[in-house]
A = this chain, B = another copy of it.
């Protein structure tokens, strides 16, 4: 998918919401555990109830890997279900991968080819040759960790190199990499005040913004400082939406939470 198509979808749906599909079997309605594939059953119900309200789905691979083969199978079924039934929706493998060149190529193959995601999140620590193999895929997007939503972001990301924070070096350096037009960036909603500075460096890139909801980030602040001419934001909410209820009505409850965010976004987009 191109970023133009993503922007068109945002305008059409009046939404820049991304829903995180982080399925924890301890948190889903317990009647689903009787299903043959409880993880996929949960995701399918959430997708059926929310696809008109969001422009992206983001399964976090950790939650699937934790269930081994069963989990990986559920991930495969989930991405296939989205791609088949809602091909207009942008898909993000939240995998935070990154390794030496030949290994990153294998990860890129795994997520872009085998699982056919539109994008994957990647950690920058290993530098240029660990990220460029992902960037080589046409119409696929590499979402680089810049400033994350957690407290640990202050351990290294905000430390100063030559009077400039590490995450700004990541942003600036990444712009020089081959096929850098395929980059997007993770910036946590809990760090909204940093977004104005970030937009100075990468005015046009899409930002994936986690941390609204359970982690305490604020949608209005993120938009105030982070939105650009073509919106340029994907606001993720995971737990705040998908675990709105653990009863029979879980999918409807999730849709209500998603709609509340979408309605806020609709007003902002005016």
Contacts and interface: CB of A to CB of B under 8 A. Distances in A.
Contact of A148 (B63, B107, B126, B156): B126
A225 B124 CA distance: 28
Interface stretch (A1-9, A29-37, A66-74): A66-74
Given A62-B107, A66-B107, A156 B166 contact: yes
A97 B62 contact: yes
A221 to B, nearest CB: 19
A149 B127 CA distance: 11
Contact of A104 (B62, B103, B155, B156): B62
Interface in A46-67: 60, 62-63, 65-67
Interface stretch (A157-165, A193-201, A261-269): A157-165
A26 to B, nearest CB: 11
Interface stretch (A109-117, A226-234, A251-259): A109-117
Given A123-B123, A152-B126, A159-B169, A76 B69 contact: yes
A101 interface: yes
Interface in A69-88: 69, 71-73, 76
B153 A127 contact: yes
Interface residues on A, range: 35 or more
A161 B166 contact: yes
Pairs of residues from A and B, 10 with the lowest C-beta to C-beta distance, nearest first: A127-B152, A127-B155, A62-B106, A65-B110, A66-B106, A129-B152, A100-B150, A66-B110, A128-B152, A68-B114
A156 B173 contact: yes
Q: Within the oligomer, what is the number of copies of this chain?
A: 2
Contacts of A173: 155-156
A27 to B, nearest CB: 10
Given A128-B152, A155-B128, A69 B73 contact: yes
Nearest to A176: B155
A24 B105 CA distance: 11
A81 to B, nearest CB: 16
A22 interface: yes
A99 B170 CA distance: 18
A106 to B, nearest CB: 4
Contacts of A111: 65
29 contacts: A22-B103, A24-B106, A60-B99, A62-B99, A62-B103, A62-B106, A65-B111, A65-B114, A66-B107, A68-B72, A69-B72, A69-B76, A96-B97, A96-B123, A100-B148, A123-B125, A123-B126, A125-B148, A125-B157, A126-B150, A126-B153, A127-B150, A127-B151, A127-B152, A127-B155, A129-B150, A129-B151, A130-B150, A130-B152
